Amino acid sequence: MDTQTTLVDTPADVPANVQTVLNFSDAITMLSSADLYDASNGKVAYSVDNHKSFASSKTVIKDVRGGKDEIMATISKNDVLPDSVAFPAREGVRGKEVKVKVEKWMWAPKHRDFPMSFEVNGQEYQWIVGAGRTLQLVDPKQADAPLAWHEPSPNGPKKGGRLLLTPAAETDLMHNAVIVSCVMALQRWAASIRFAQFGTAVAAEQMYSTTFGRDA
């Protein structure tokens, strides 16, 4: 991953209702790192860094726009303890980061990978699988009007694809949750595809030791 490389790609096929296009330098998996470039200026907007240790791995998602270096969330996948996602304390709020079990913040139906749901201010949103292996963020009550969607790269599964965001996905209330949940959904999607293709023990572990799912 080369943070000096710029990825500027704003093709004519971007719908008029899209406000921001983020190009991924690499595919998001449980073990990969990637930079997310703003297609309007070619600069890195967000970074996704994975760190593997003996008994766990961590995915650190950062907002690096305008020279910032702010952690948005840290996703911890553990061999013994429950998987968790931690968010920094909000500005002006005393205390340390807020850490919750992954399955409490983002969940899927039992024994299924999608839809993956999360809540913002009491409103449920879902990442669903759309046509052409896209992942779409929707309000379940208006599933035909995606708020954001990730398109795979036409250059193969190891390339990163792009995330398209409408204004509704970029409000102050929604923004961080959309980016973080997208990374988590892509990790889940990558493990699901790998397991379907190869049925490997590694893919199975990536899928099922990450405790997404609530009792139906």
Tokens in use for 142?
Answer: 């208006």
CB 166 within 8 A of CB 152: no
51 lies in some domain: yes
4 lies in some domain: no
1 lies in some domain: no
Residue 110's domain comprises 20-208
121 lies in some domain: yes
60 lies in some domain: yes
CB 46 within 8 A of CB 196: no
CB 46 within 8 A of CB 165: no
3-state SS, residue 76:
strand
DSSP secondary structure of 176-203: HHHHHHHHHHHHHHHHHHHHHHH--HHH
Tokens in use for 150?
Answer: 């990730």
Q: What pLDDT score does 202 carry?
A: 43
- For residue 149, the Cα-to-chain-centroid distance in whole angstroms is 11
CB 192 within 8 A of CB 207: yes
CB 31 within 8 A of CB 57: yes
42 lies in some domain: yes
Location of structure tokens 């990730």: 150
157 lies in some domain: yes
- In a 10 Å sphere around its CB, with 0-12 CB exposed, 13-18 middle and 19+ buried, how is residue 154 labelled? exposed
Q: What pLDDT score does 132 carry?
A: 86
Q: What pLDDT score does 6 carry?
A: 45
Distances (CA, A) of 167 to 133, 176, 201: 23, 13, 40
Distances (CA, A) of 127 to 72, 114, 140, 149: 19, 7, 9, 9
Distances (CA, A) of 67 to 70, 80, 139, 184, 197: 10, 37, 32, 24, 40
Its sign, for the CA torsion 212, 18, 120, 68, is: positive
Q: What pLDDT score does 95 carry?
A: 62
Q: What pLDDT score does 207 carry?
A: 40
216 lies in some domain: no
Which residue ranges of the chain lie beneath pLDDT 70? 1-12, 90-95, 194-216
Counted domains in the chain? 1
